[in-house]
Amino acid sequence: MHVVYPAVVAALLFSVGVYGVLARRNTILVLMSVELMLNAVNLNLVAFDVWLRDVLHSGQVLTLFVIVIAAAEVGIGLAIVLAVFRTRKAIELDRLRELGEP
């Protein structure tokens, strides 16, 4: 398989993720979009690892790292979302503006 197919798929996935991060108001959906972006990167890493025939398979190793970190990130992220929802009764991103300049 030519490397261009996974690369295009990854780019599409990443773009969907970016769109989600920038445009969605729901915090959980934004977190999911972040996951999409991470997975797009993972796909790229694996694809190029195979294409370049890396002896050390550093692409695949890195992918494992990313998956672990993503898991931790989602855990913390969801915990924050939960805490915010408990205190504010809202998870819409554009309503959480306490840190903005008045």
Partner 1 sequence: MIASLVVVLPFAGAVLGLLLPRHPHGRSPADNLAANKRAAWFGVVPTALSTALVGWLAWENTPSTSVLTKIDTGGIAITVGLEVAELSVLTAMLVGVVALAVQVYSVGYMRGESRYPSFSAFISLFTSAMLLVVFAADLLVLYVGWEIMGLCSYLLVGHWWEERANSRAAIKAFLVTRLGDVGFLFGIFVLGFAAGSFRIADIMAADIPEPTLVLATLLLLAGVAGKSAQVPLHTWLPDAMAGPTPISALIHAATMVAAGIFVVARLYVLFPQPTLDVLGVAAAIGMLGAALAAFAQNDLKRVLAYSTISQLAYMAAALAGGARDAAVFHLVTHGAFKALLFLCAGAVIHHVGSNLLGHMGGLRRSMPVTFTTMTIGYAALIGLPPASGFFSKDAILYGLERSSSPIQLVLYGSALLTVGVTGAYATRAWLMTFFGTGKIQALPEPAPGTAHVFDGREAPLSMLWPMGVLAVPALLLGFTDAGEFHLAPAVTALAVALLGAAFVYVIWRGAPERDPARLLGPFRDPCEQAFYVDRLYAAVFVRPVLALARGVVRTDDDVVDGAVRATGRATVGLSGLTRHLQNGNAQLYVTGVLAGVLLIAVGAVVLG
Q: Give which of 76, 96, 85 is closest to 34, Cα–Cα.
A: 76
Our finding on whether 22 is near partner 1 (CB under 8 A) is yes
Is residue 42 within 8 A of residue 67, CB to CB? The reply is yes
Residue 96: CB minimum distance to partner 1, A: 7
Our finding on whether 55 is near partner 1 (CB under 8 A) is no
Residue 98: CB minimum distance to partner 1, A: 7
Quick one: CA torsion of 3, 9, 15, 18, rounded to 10 degrees? -100
Residues that bind partner 1 (CB under 8 A): 18, 21-23, 30, 93-94, 96-101
